[in-house]
Amino acid sequence: MLPLLYKSNTAKNDFNNNGLGFVKNCTKCKVTEVRNGLYELELEMLTNDRLADSIAVGMFLKAKANPHDDLQIFEIYQMSVTNTKITAKGQHLKYIAGGNVLGEDFGTLLDDGYTPQETWEKIQHYLEFNNLFEFYSDITTKASVTAGRDCPIRLGDFLSGVDGSMLDTFHGEFHYDNFKIELLKNRGTDTGIAIRYGSNISSYQQDSDYSTVYSHLLPYAIVKAEEYDTGKSIGDKMVYTSLIDLQNSNLTYKRALAYDFSDEFTEDDDIAVIYQNGVVSNWSDLTAKLNAVANQYVNKNYTALTEISVNITVDVAETLRNLENCKLCDTVQVYFEPLGFSANAKIVKTEYDVLLEKYTKIELGAIKKTIADLFSGKNIGGA
């Protein structure tokens, strides 16, 4: 399907019509989307197209981005023009939503803990610009989003861009559908589709190995110490807490990572105050902070700490046809034919040809097998 072009000042409801019309001499149009990440369009058109004199940065293109969603809207942010060809790049409307700003005065509004839906409703009055976007989440757990407590923050970072964001707090997977934002427990489904490695998968890349996978985290920090009575500096003191269980079912035997969080303890309040008998008077305060920063680290890095990952790129036509009805975040089974093993994999990136209306590349991630295991006959994550 050919993309449609819209003026830069197009109102929300006017995207329901055809705008300036189709880019008829479009020679290439591709949409790339990454799980909880990038969502962009790339277009090439001939300079003899009737819209060649109209297209400009800041205008919008509407195009088919995948087999399932309605046509999606992309704002042109970059253009290049030659005597024969125009190349344009566009960002999904989600980037416009992300450019809104939350003022710092919303502060401790979320301290009591809310669901994602309730959190969205709470922050609406603190957005600096008029909000055009709807929000939905099927996540019902309650938690306190900490991003943006100390200074103003972009809505995009509040949603998913920094420590303490909604994604960091609730996990899940974002689905952006024009002016609708969804944070879902699982965006995709288990398709039951099986594809074969070795015959119709083009390449694989190992992202991590078994030696970097852990069952527990042991947090500690080295802080400055001072005497309780005199305030005199007496060197350093190590602060530590109990092991954090990562609930990692991928490991048969326990293996802990000792992680130094000393960089998080740089303020005057982080000095260990020690009585004459060696007891630290503010030990509970120091360990409470250590627990907090350690758990934030675990939330942000859980996959890297616990999963053995192999990313596989699919760009063979036969396999892509088998996956043509799949969505980003769907799960498929990869069958390793030489060894008779299989492993579940999630679709983490798609490239979609707008003109031909089909996937041209799909990336599968978080397969719980290492390359070494495939060739040694070990069955770690498969059936």
Contact 24, 78 (CB under 8 A): no
pLDDT for residue 301: 82
Least confidently predicted of 25-34, 164-173, 276-285, 359-368: 359-368
pLDDT for residue 379: 32
Most confident listed range (220-229, 337-346, 359-368): 220-229
Which pLDDT band, with edges at 50, 70 and 90, does 239 fall under? very high
Distances (CA, A) of 20 to 10, 23, 46, 56, 129: 10, 9, 17, 13, 27
pLDDT for residue 202: 55
Contact 145, 161 (CB under 8 A): no
- State how far the Cα of 72 lies from the Cα of 237, in Å rounded to an integer: 56
Question: Average pLDDT of the chain?
Answer: 86
* Number of other residues whose CB lies within 10 A of the CB of residue 215: 20
pLDDT for residue 312: 76
Least confidently predicted of 100-104, 158-162, 203-207, 211-215: 203-207
pLDDT for residue 341: 58
Question: Which residues, other chains included, contact 326 with Cβ-Cβ below 8 Å and sequence gap of 6+?
Answer: 188, 191, 193, 332, 347, 362
Contact 310, 262 (CB under 8 A): no
pLDDT of 176 above 60: yes
Contact 357, 63 (CB under 8 A): no
pLDDT of 205 above 50: no
Please write the tens of the pLDDT for every residue from 243-271: 999 988 767 778 888 889 998 898 887 89
**Position with higher pLDDT, 182 vs 242:** 182
- Phi-psi domain of 176 (left: phi exceeds 0; alpha: psi -120 through 50; beta: other): beta
Residue 39, judged by CB atoms within 10 A of its CB (0-12, 13-18, 19+), counts as buried
Tokens of 90: 């566009």
Identify any residues that bridge with 280 across adjacent strands, giving them in sequence order.
274
pLDDT for residue 336: 65
pLDDT for residue 211: 62
pLDDT of 48 above 90: yes
Least confidently predicted of 55-69, 120-134, 159-173, 303-317: 303-317
Q: How far is CA 230 from the centre of its chain?
A: 49
Q: What is the DSSP string of 184-219?
A: ES-SS-EEEEEEEETTS--EEEE---GGG--SEEEE
Question: Which residues, other chains included, contact 303 with Cβ-Cβ below 8 Å and sequence gap of 6+?
Answer: 309, 366
Least confidently predicted of 117-131, 186-200, 276-290, 347-361: 186-200
Tokens of 281: 């008077």
Tokens of 114: 């809310």
- The 3-state DSSP class for residue 35 equals coil
Q: Report, as an integer, the average pLDDT of 227-256.
A: 86
Which pLDDT band, with edges at 50, 70 and 90, does 229 fall under? confident
Contact 121, 115 (CB under 8 A): no
